[in-house]
Amino acid sequence: MNNSGPSDDQLKRRVVESKSRPDLIAKLALAQLAATLVVSLLFWAFVDTPSSISALFGGLVVALANFYMAARMRVKSNTQEASQMLARFYASVILKVLFTLAMMVIFIIFIKVSIAPFIITYLLVAVAINMLFLLVPTNDVVVREDH
C-alpha cells in the first residue's frame, strides 16, 4: 500500500470567485464617516466645540482605517485562490489595527483630544455601524473546485 499522498489527478484547486460588491468596505467607511459627522454635530450642539472636534477625530480613526483596508483589499482580478484571498485579508486586518493604533496615539498623545468624546464616538461608530452592516446581504461569493 502506497501512502505517498494523492496523485495529481486527485488534487483539486479551490478558487473563490467574488461576485460581491468590491466596495463594501468603502461603503461601510462612508456610513461610518456620515455617523461621525452626525455625532460630532451633536457634541457641538449640546456640549462644546472642543468636544465636537474630539468626537470628529474619534470617528475619523474608524472611517480612515476602513478606507485604508478597502484600498488594500482591492484586487486586479476577481478570481483568486482561497489561500491568497485569506492571506491578503489577514495582512490587511493586521495593518488596519496598526494604522488604528497609530492614529489613536497621534490624536490622544500629540493632539491631546478630549478622551471621553473621542472614545465614545470611536466605539459608537465602530460598533453601531458595523452591527448595521451585518444586515447587508453579501451572499455573492462562490467557491468552486478546479479539476
Distance between CA atoms of 10 and 42, rounded to whole angstroms? 61
Hey, what's the cell of 73?
483589499
Distances (CA, A) of 108 to 14, 56, 76, 101, 124: 45, 13, 37, 10, 18
Alpha-carbon dihedral 48, 121, 35, 39, rounded to 10 degrees: -20
- Kindly give, in sequence order, each residue whose CB lies less than 8 Å from that of residue 56, ignoring residues fewer than 6 positions away: 36, 37, 40, 121
> From the centroid of its chain, how far is CA 126?
10
Distance between CA atoms of 90 and 95, rounded to whole angstroms? 9
Residue boundaries of the structural domains of the chain: 22-135
pTM (2 d.p.): 0.74
In the block, cell 501512502 appears at 3
Q: In a structure prediction context, what are the per-residue pLDDT tens digits for the chain, which is 147 residues long? A: 555 655 555 556 655 555 445 577 778 888 999 999 999 999 999 999 999 999 999 999 999 998 888 887 776 555 667 787 788 888 888 999 999 999 999 999 999 999 999 999 999 999 988 888 888 776 555 555 655
